[in-house]
Amino acid sequence: MKQNITDSVTHISGNAVKKVSLSNKDSKNIKKVTNLMVDVIRRQRRLWRKEINDWQQGRFARYNADIPRTWYLQEVFDDVMLDGHLTGITENRTLRTTNKKYIFSIDGKKDDKLSDFIEDKEWFELLLTEAHNSVYYEYSLIWIKEYIKGEIQEVELIPRGLVVPEHKVLLYDLSATKGIDFSEIKDLLLYAKFYPGLGLLEKAAPYAILKRHSWGSWDEFEELFGVPIRIAKIASQSETVKNEVAGWLEEMGSAPYGVFPIGTEIDIKENSKGDAFNVFYKKIEALDKELSKMVLHQTMTTENGSSQAQGNVHEATLKEVVYADEKKMLSFLNTRLVPAMRLLGYNIPENAKITIEQTKNPSEQITIDGEFMRNGYVLKQQYIEEVYGIEIERMPSENTPAEGKA
């Protein structure tokens, strides 16, 4: 944090101080607290392939009533997110919320000066993404890592495995039983949890793991039956000749030809079960559809639809999901972020809040505007230029007939 270390203090107090094991004097030293936070997020991630039993053990640890632990299940979530289809549908849903234009407004009108605090800011874009990822991972604890008075410069996601949401505790270590009471740190730690439950990845994990098994089985099937078997029959019983012909077969690789001595007969055994791959393909296809329905509540925005009418129904279903996400996002921003910004020195009035700027579709708006004009309404030049993205040199006067009319 870019501040004067000797003059700055943190807002950590009460139970948070006891859990961190800092003295009252140390709790006001922003350098020591910052070093503690850096230590918390510097953790070695353990990588190995997760299976169904890992998912079950992770859920058992997560639902433990006495000492719930989240890191095991979060490692399973990180592993299954390597799935390409799951990555695509989650990003599809996330981008439909984060790609909206967020602004500050007062009494329903955009305030340009306040909106400059968040528009085109890298830290704000990252905050939107990580906050929305709570839909899949259950929660996100976002640390405002660097700031000066009235300007946030960098934010960072705290590893989810160190967070115990039920107790509002940020553990110092995976094996620790105490940590920071993050509910008391309202300026530097922002907690996002959009929906109840453990996140969509709790339900998606077994599907992604089973899908990976099918990919592996399909790969083995390809090795066994995908390439025709070549058998060489030779008259000689000499081991030297046998080894030499075997070497030639190996050296052929994928070449369509080979040179063999007289008397050698080459027999190619092709797999007669041409549709056996459907066992794996259909299973993978079915699992992808289940994942799409789970995350997007429909399939036709990621799969080929059978008709435009059905596609419109599926798109409308997705819009309802996105609308719910947007409401949750605005609630998080105005309940968590805006108060934190005020504590960090931003001059934000109490009646100001973050909203989503309503953009107009020109092809749809021109029909609406045409109806107004036919009923005698007059549109302003500024409105026409903003909606349709054009520059108007002059507006026709009431006494000047439109071109083409007498």
Q: Is the confidence at residue 35, as pLDDT, over 70?
A: no
- Tell which phi-psi region holds residue 150, choosing left (phi > 0), alpha (psi between -120 and 50) or beta: left
Say which residue, 376 or 117, is predicted with more confidence: 117
Q: What pLDDT shows up at residue 277? A: 65
Closest CA to 55 of 260, 247, 254, 208: 208
Stated pTM of the model? 0.72
Residue count of the chain: 406
Average pLDDT over residues 195-206: 94
Comparison of pLDDT for 154 and 226, the residue scoring more: 154
Phi, psi at 354, each rounded to 5°: -85, 130
Range 204-208 contact pairs with CB under 8 angstroms and sequence separation of 24 or more:
204/80, 204/86, 204/136, 204/291, 204/294, 204/295, 205/50, 205/55, 205/76, 205/77, 205/80, 206/52, 206/55, 207/287, 207/290, 207/291, 207/294, 208/80, 208/83, 208/86, 208/287, 208/291
**Res 77 pLDDT > 70:** yes
User: C-alpha distances in angstroms, 297 versus 200, 293, 325, 383?
Assistant: 12, 4, 13, 37
pLDDT of 17 > 50? The answer is no
Please give the average per-residue pLDDT across 275-281, as a whole number: 72
Q: What is the pLDDT of residue 275?
A: 60
* Max avg pLDDT among 108-112, 192-196, 368-372: 192-196
Query: Which of the residue ranges 61-65, 378-382, 401-405 would you say has the lowest mean pLDDT?
Result: 401-405
Residue 48 has pLDDT above 80, yes or no: no
pLDDT single digits (tens) 213-255 = 888 777 777 666 666 666 666 766 777 777 777 776 676 665 5
More confident residue, 112 or 173: 112
pLDDT of residue 164: 92
Position 104 pLDDT exceeds 90: yes
41: pLDDT strictly greater than 50: yes
pLDDT at 380: 83
> Tens of pLDDT along 52-68?
999 999 999 999 888 88
Average pLDDT taken over every residue of the chain? 79
Q: Are 115 and 104 in contact (CB under 8 A)?
A: yes
Report yes or no: 166 and 182 within 8 Å, Cβ to Cβ: no
Q: Which of 134-138, 154-158, 361-365 bottoms out in mean pLDDT, i.e. has the lowest?
A: 361-365
